Structure 1
Amino acid sequence: MKFADRIQRFQANVFADMDQAKRQALDTGQSLIDLSLGSSDLPVAAPILETISQSLQDPSTHGYLLFHGTRSFREAVAAWYEQRFGLSVDPETEVLPLIGSQEGTAHLPLAILNPGDIALLQDPGYPSHAGGVYLAGGEMYGMPLLAENQFLPVFSEIPTEVRQKARMMVLSYPHNPTTAIAPLSFFQEAVQFCQDHDLVLVHDFPYVDFVFSEQKMPSILQADRHRQCSIEFFTFSKSYSMGGFRIGFAVGNADLITSLRKIKAIVDFNQYLGILNGAVTALKTSDAELQQTLSIFQKRRDVFVTALAKIGWVIPKPTATMYIWAPLPEPWQQQSVEFCKQLVLQTGVAASPGAGFGPAGEGYVRFALVQDPDTLNTAVDRIDSFLHT
Structure 2
Amino acid sequence: MDQEFHRIKRLPPYVFAEVNALKAAARAAKKDIIDFGMGNPDQPPPQHVIDKLTDVVQNPRVHGYSTSRGIPGLRKAISAYYDRRFGVDIDPETETIVTLGSKEGLANLAQAITSPGDIILAPNPSYPIHAFGFIIAGAAIRSMPMTQGGNIMEQLEIAVRHSVPKPLAIILNYPSNPTAEVKDLDFYAEIVDFCRKHEIYIISDLAYAEVYFNDTPPPSILQVPGAKDIAVEFLSMSKTYSMAGWRVGFCSGNKKLVAALTRVKSYVDYGAFTPVQVAAVSALNGPQDCIGEMRDRYRGRRDVLIKGLSAAGWDIPSPPATMFAWAPLPKEFSHLGSLEFSKLLLEHANVAVAPGVGFGEYGEGYVRLGLVENEQRTRQAVKNIKAMMQKKDNILEQISKRK
Shorter-chain TM band:
over 0.9
8 Å CA contact 2:175–2:183 kept in 1: the answer is yes
Q: Distance in 2 between matches of 1:74 and 1:344?
A: 43
What is the letter of the counterpart of residue 124 of structure 1?
A: P
The residue type equivalent to 2:231 in the other structure is: S
Q: 3-state DSSP class of the match of 2:276?
A: helix
CA distance in 2, matches of 1:68, 1:295: 34
Are 1:26 and 2:27 matched, yes or no? yes
Q: How has the CA–CA distance of structure 1 residues 375 and 163 changed in structure 2, closer, same or farther, with 3 Å as cutoff?
A: farther
User: What is aligned with 2:109?
Assistant: 108
Q: Residues 53-88 of structure 1: CA distance to partner in whole angstroms, max 9, x if unpaired?
A: 111111111100125771111011111111111111
Partner of 1:351: 353
Distance (Å, rounded) in 2 between the aligned partners of 1:67 and 1:355: 35
- In the superposition, the TM-score normalised over structure 1's length comes to 0.96
Does the residue aligned with 1:103 lie in a helix, a strand or coil? helix
The answer (yes or no) to whether the contact 1:224–1:230 under 8 Å persists in 2 is no
Contact 2:234 2:252 (8 Å CA) reproduced = yes
Distance of 2:69 and 2:182 partners within structure 1: 36
The structural deviation recorded for 1:159 is 6.0
- Name the counterpart of 1:36: 37
SS at match of 2:334: coil
Question: Distance between the aligned counterparts of 2:115 and 2:298, measured in 1?
Answer: 41
- In structure 2, the CA distance between the partners of 1:350 and 1:173, relative to structure 1 (3 Å rule), is same
Q: Whole-Å Cα distance in 2 between the matches of residues 304 and 151 of structure 1?
A: 30
Q: 1:326 to 1:101 in 2, by over 3 A?
A: same
Aligned-residue identity in percent: 36
Q: Secondary structure, in 3 states, of the residue corresponding to 1:170?
A: strand
Q: Cα RMSD between the aligned structures? A: 1.8
Q: Does the residue aligned with 1:93 lie in a helix, a strand or coil?
A: coil
For 1:181, give the aligned amino acid: V
Tell me, yes or no, if the aligned pair for 1:166 and 1:199 is still in contact at 8 Å. yes
The runs of 5 or more residues in structure 1 that have no matched partner are none
* More displaced stretch, 187-196 vs 96-105: 187-196
Quote the Cα distance in structure 2 between the aligned partners of 1:353 and 1:304: 18
CA distance in 1, matches of 2:318, 2:182: 13
Which residue of 1 is the match for residue 11 of structure 2? 10
Unmatched 5+ residue regions in structure 2?
392-403
Q: Is the 8 A contact 2:70 2:99 kept in 1?
A: no
Q: TM-score, normalised by structure 2?
A: 0.92
User: Is 2:156 the partner of 1:155?
Assistant: yes
**SS of aligned partner of 2:245:** helix
Q: Which residue of 1 aligns with 2:242?
A: 241
| Secondary structure at 1:66 match in 2 | coil
Corresponding position of 1:127: 128
User: Cα deviations across residues 113-163 of structure 1 (Å, max 9, x unaligned)?
Assistant: 211111100111000111211111111111111222499984334362227
Q: Does the 8 Å CA contact 1:25/1:346 hold for their aligned counterparts?
A: no
The Cα shift of 1:294 comes to 0.3
- 1:68, 1:354 → 2: CA distance? 35
Deviation of 1:285 (Å): 4.1
Superposed displacement of residue 332, structure 1:
2.5
2:32 partner SS: coil
Q: Equivalents in 1 of 2:155, 2:370: separation in Å?
A: 27
Matched, 1:270 2:300: no
State how far apart, in whole Å, the 1-side matches of 2:297 and 2:87 are.
28
Q: Cα distance 1:241–1:379, how it changes in 2: closer, same or farther (>3 A)?
A: same
**AA aligned opposite 1:39:** N
Query: Could you tell me how far apart the structure 2 residues matched to 1:157 and 1:255 are?
Result: 27
2:370 pairs with 1:371: no
Partner SS, residue 149 of structure 2: helix
The answer (yes or no) to whether the contact 1:174–1:180 under 8 Å persists in 2 is yes
1:253 aligns with 2:254: yes
Instruction: Note if contact 2:69-2:97 (Cα within 8 Å) is conserved in structure 1.
Output: no
Q: Amino acid of the residue matched to residue 281 of structure 1?
A: S
**Per-residue deviation, 1:102:** 0.3
**2:328/2:366 contact within 8 Å kept:** yes
Instruction: State the match for 1:182 in structure 2.
Output: 183
User: Where do 1:82-121 residues align within 5 Å?
Assistant: 82-121=83-122
CA distance in 2, matches of 1:69, 1:318: 34
Distance 1:39 1:259, change over 3 A: same
- Give 1:205's aligned amino acid: L
| Deviation digits for residues 318-373 of structure 1 (CA, Å, limit 9, x no counterpart) | 10011111111123225001100121133321000111111111111110010111
Q: 1:69 to 1:237 in 2, by over 3 A?
A: closer
Find the counterpart in structure 2 of residue 232 from structure 1: 233
Aligned residue for 1:158, secondary structure, equals helix
Q: Distance in 2 between matches of 1:297 and 1:201?
A: 30
Query: How far, CA to CA, are the matches of 1:172 and 1:208 in structure 2?
Result: 10
Say if 2:59 is the partner of 1:78. Answer: no
Residue 6 (structure 1) shift: 1.2
Q: Distance in 2 between matches of 1:314 and 1:294?
A: 23
Following superposition, which runs of at least 4 residues in structure 1 exceed 6 angstroms of deviation?
A: 150-153
Aligned residue pairs: how many?
Answer: 389
Equivalents in 2 of 1:133, 1:69: separation in Å?
A: 24
Q: Could you say which residue in structure 2 is the equivalent of 1:337?
A: 339
Distance 2:69 2:375 in 1: 45
> What are the equivalent positions in structure 2 for 1:313-324 lying under 5 Å apart?
313-324=314-325
